Amino acid sequence: MKEFQSFNFDPKICRQELNELRNCLEENQELNEQEEILTFFRNRPHLSAFIGS
């Protein structure tokens, strides 16, 4: 069973990660889920937590 990671949410970092998502979507018409989307969100915990809430 996976365990949750604890961290302190930072809205400024979340905003930066959200801008990175916007840039990624603007630059790519297609994204591979396993290689690109999952990796993108795994490397951006603030954005993932924001979307999950």
Q: Using CA atoms, how far apart are residues 27 and 12, in angstroms rounded to an integer?
A: 23
Domain contains 47: yes
What pLDDT is recorded for position 46?
95
Domain contains 28: yes
Which residues form the domain of 48?
11-52
What pLDDT is recorded for position 41?
95
What pLDDT is recorded for position 4?
80
Q: Over its length of 53 residues, how does the chain's per-residue pLDDT go in tens digits?
A: 788 878 899 999 999 999 999 999 999 999 999 889 999 999 999 999 999 88
What's the domain count of the chain? 1
Domain contains 25: yes
What pLDDT is recorded for position 5?
79
Q: Using CA atoms, how far apart are residues 53 and 40, in angstroms rounded to an integer?
A: 18
Domain contains 5: no
Question: Which H, E and C letters describe 39-51, residue by residue?
Answer: HHHHCCHHHHHHH
What pLDDT is recorded for position 42?
93
